[in-house]
Every structure is written in structure tokens, then in C-alpha cells.
Structure 1
Amino acid sequence: MKLIVNADDFGYSKGVNLGIVEAHTDGIVSSATMMMNMPGVEHAFRLAENHPSLGVGIHLVLTCGAPLEPNVPSLTDEYGAFRRGQAHLADVSAEEVEREFTAQLERFFRTGRRPSHIDSHHHVHAHEAILPVVLRLAERFRLPVRYPWVFGQQRGDHLPVPTTQGFSHHFYGDGLTADTLFGIVEGLSGCSSAEIMCHPAYLDEELLTGSSYARQRARELQILTSPEVREYIRDRKVQLVTFNDIG
């Protein structure tokens, strides 16, 4: 099986960035996705330059921080920040979403790099009101997309852009162990290609004050870099890849 272990939230903060890179160099993370509107993004790109084996995609954002585009009122609150949660997504302007996502993609391209793929913060790309916009942009820029698992389909074979056959968001939350990860890998073993989402990080002030999912990230980092996990992946001949390696 080709397995992508993708660390979300690259660019959120220096602590997140350093945790992701360590989970790559000393663990099983093979890919990460960049939040183009967050304060740690330039630091993340500098780290990525020094670690070319780490695939770097884009983590499209509608629910954290502030937009890059001006005048997107259906997406923002009274302070100009993105509105939290997803209850409002059914009623947002598709034109505003497309402008904002295009701005995030274009900021990525201006770094001189090409994203390996598209996914999103809080899985907004899989929302029924947002997915058509994402697929349009993925086709325009010829980029793979994280499989929109919330639709309940078992395979991604029929999407108009490349994706993996399997995806798991279950390496998340309290009480994670190496056995949690092993169970996820076993559950995906029937797929020729699959992705596991993760969020490793070192805790810093930005993360502790800005995210409700903080302490658990340090636990993820410990598991993803453990000798036990690295040995398990090696012994089962799982091929750790990036979205550049799937077609």
C-alpha cells in the first residue's frame, strides 16, 4: 500500500511547524499542508526548503484567522475574521469562496513552489456547498484533492481529480496510542493508496491560546516518531509517499 501520512496546519505557528518537520525527519509523516493565511507560513516554507522529501500541499482555510481577499462578507464576522464553525457554509457566496481560495493558492504559487495537493482546515472542502468550488480549482490547477470522506463513499475512483482510494481522520482526539494508528493502517490495508490525517506539534503560545486542539498534538508527535511505529510501517512494507506519487 502507498500511504500518505499528512500533517495538517503547517504554517499555523513555529511550534506546529517544528513538530511537523520532526515528525517527518524522525517519524512517518510524509506530507504536510500549508495554511496560507496564518502567521507561521513563512517559517514553514523556510523549513520545507531544507526538507525537500516532505510533500507540501495547501490547507485551504475558511474557519480560522482572516481571509487574504478583501470584501468577502459572507465569510467573515464583524471583525473581519473568518466566521467559526460550519453552520454558515451552506449560505456563503460561492463566488467569494472561489476568490478567497484562489488568493490562497496564488500566494502559494508566488513562493515558487507548486502544492502537491489540496485539502482544507476543518474539512470544509468536503462540505456540499464548497466541494464544487474546490474541484473546479483542482481541475484548473491540475492538483489532487484529499478524498471528501464525509460523503460516505468508500472509494475516490469517480472524482474528476486524483485522490487516494482510502482516507482516515481517526488519528485525532484524546487517548491516542500506537495501537490506534496500527488499527487505522490495518483498516486501510485493502486500498492501493490511502491517507491518514494527523496534527503533530510542539506546544507554543500561539497554539495554546488559539486552538482547542493543543495538548493532543504533542501526544501525536510522540507516537508518530516512536521506534515502535516506524518498525511497524517498515515490517509491513508500507510505502510512505506524497500526493506526487499517486495518479
Structure 2
Amino acid sequence: MIEVLVNADDFGLTKSVNYGILDSHKYGIVNSTTIMMNAKATEHAIEIAKRTPSLKVGIHLVLTWGTPLLSDVPSLIDDSGHFKKQGVVYGEPADISLLELEREWSAQIERFLEFGLYPSHLDSHHHVHGIENFLPVVKNLTEKYQLPVRNAGKHFAGVQTVTDVFLDDFYGETVVEDYFQNLKGRVIDGQSVEIMTHPAYMDEDLMQVSSYNSNRLKETRILTNARLPEGFILRFGINQAI
């Protein structure tokens, strides 16, 4: 038997994203989501999380979109006060202060805790937690908050990961009708697997903040109709009240 975590990234990005994730959970196979704590619809997402305890909610740590929660993290921002772009962070990760990064990511986790919920796990926007330079910060956060993290590869040996295997190819051109039926043979029996998804409905806010938009609507349709193949079961979780 193979346990499956179908995670919807970007919870909180816009209300249309939140509703797409909710419907993909209520009527489909999404059983987990991760929330951005610095986004326009974050509090709307929190309301949904509190009303939907069957949806596991983790934290989508942010370093490459929007603005930080803290005001004194100069190595994380550009001249406009926004987080540095994805290409800049990946190109020059050594320019990021690990102390500032840990403080900012801790602030994002603490903001979630302030709403009276406890996160199920951690991952990150644009997979930045997987940058090897940031591994000390990831280790500190997983130990401090006793949380598993999205499996980012071989250098995560010794870090508690939420699943054994992580698949990030349900995205863009590979968002296809039979994706989930074709999981057989990709994961070894007895392992657990996380599949990254981005369901959403369309609205003006989403068009303004993300270049990945129309495929999100396609994802929503597929996720609300998909079935897992024999031998695969959904791993369900409950938000824990503090």
C-alpha cells in the first residue's frame, strides 16, 4: 500500500485559489494544503481552514514573492522592499543572511500559530527551502516546531520529511487527465508520496499576481474528478487546535 499526500500549494494567494483548493478537497482528492502567510487572502484561507478540519494545513514558507512580515531583514529584500526574485535567490543564495531567513520564516510560522491552529508540515514557495545553503535553517525550524518538511532531495537525509517521495510534475504541460492513474510504477510499495498541485478558480487578482493561472483551473477540474489507482490510499490529517 502507498500513502498519498495530494498537496495544494499557495493557499491564501487569492480567494479564487482558496475556493479552488477547498473544492478540490471537498469533492476531489486534495487532502493537504500549504498556506502563504504574507498574501492578500491569507486570513480568508485561515477561515476556511478552521471550518474544514479534514483538510490538513501546513505552511508555504515564502522568500521570493510579496513582502516579508518583518521589517529588519535587509538581505532578503530588493530596493523596493519586496522579497528578492526567484532567480536572484537561486543565483546568489550566499547573499541571504541565514539569521534573517530563520527569523522571517519563524515569524511566518508564528503568525499561523496566532490563529489557533498548528501546522501539519512545512514546504516553500518556489521550493526555496530545498536550496542547500538554507539547510541549517530548515533543520532548526523542523526541530524547534517538531514539524516534517517537504522532501527536497538527498541532502535532506537526517531531516524529518512529510513523505518518502516528492513529485512536482503535475504542473504546466504535464497536467493531464490520466496523471493519477499513471502513478503505478513510480513509487515503491510501502513508501509514501507527496504530489504537488495548484488548483484554483480564475479571477482578476490571480491574473495580476501569478503567471501560472489558466492551468490552475484545469488542475481543479482534474483533481475534483481523479481517482487513485489500486494500491494507493489518501493520507488524511486533521488540523490540531492549540
| Same fold at TM > 0.5 | yes
Corresponding residue for residue 135 of structure 2: 131
**Alpha-carbon distance in structure 2 between the residues aligned to 1:55 and 1:186:** 26
Structure 1 counterpart of 2:28, which letter? G
Matches within 5 A, 1:119-158: 119-149=123-153, 151=154, 158=157
**Alpha-carbon distance in structure 1 between the residues aligned to 2:195 and 2:223:** 11
SS in 1 for 2:59: strand
Structure 1 counterpart of 2:191, which letter? S
Corresponding residue for residue 47 of structure 1: 48
Return 170-179 or 113-122, whichever deviates more: 170-179
Deviation at 1:242, TM superposition (A): 4.3
**Alpha-carbon distance in structure 2 between the residues aligned to 1:80 and 1:134:** 24
Deviation at 1:89, TM superposition (A): 2.3
Q: 1:117 aligns with which of 101, 121, 125?
A: 121
Corresponding residue for residue 217 of structure 2: 218
Corresponding residue for residue 192 of structure 1: 191
Normalising by the residue count of structure 1, what TM-score does the alignment of the two structures yield?
0.89
Sequence identity, in percent?
Answer: 46
Q: Deviations over 1:92-150 (max 9, x none)?
A: 1001100100100100110111000000000000001112201211111100111013x
Q: Structure 1 residues 133, 23: CA separation in 2 closer, same or farther (over 3 Å shift)? A: same
Where relative contact order (Cα < 8 A, 6+ residues apart) is larger, the structure is 2
Corresponding residue for residue 207 of structure 1: 206
Q: Structure 1 residues 180, 239: CA separation in 2 closer, same or farther (over 3 Å shift)? A: closer
Structure 2 counterpart of 1:54, which letter? L
8 A contact 1:36–1:104 mirrored in 2: yes
**Alpha-carbon distance in structure 2 between the residues aligned to 1:37 and 1:175:** 29
**Alpha-carbon distance in structure 2 between the residues aligned to 1:27 and 1:159:** 33
**Alpha-carbon distance in structure 2 between the residues aligned to 1:53 and 1:213:** 27
Normalising by the residue count of structure 2, what TM-score does the alignment of the two structures yield?
0.91
Structure 2 counterpart of 1:122, which letter? H
SS in 2 for 1:174: helix
Q: Structure 1 residues 143, 175: CA separation in 2 closer, same or farther (over 3 Å shift)? A: closer
**Alpha-carbon distance in structure 2 between the residues aligned to 1:174 and 1:23:** 20
Deviation at 1:88, TM superposition (A): 3.1
Corresponding residue for residue 238 of structure 1: 232
Q: Deviations over 1:47-95 (max 9, x none)?
A: 1112110000000000001000111111101111001112232321001
**Structure 2 portions without partners, runs of 5+:** none
SS in 1 for 2:126: helix
Q: Structure 1 residues 185, 14: CA separation in 2 closer, same or farther (over 3 Å shift)? A: farther
Deviation at 1:185, TM superposition (A): 5.2
**Structure 1 portions without partners, runs of 5+:** none
Number of equivalenced pairs: 235
1:103 aligns with 2:107: yes
Q: Structure 1 residues 10, 23: CA separation in 2 closer, same or farther (over 3 Å shift)? A: same
Deviation at 1:237, TM superposition (A): 4.3
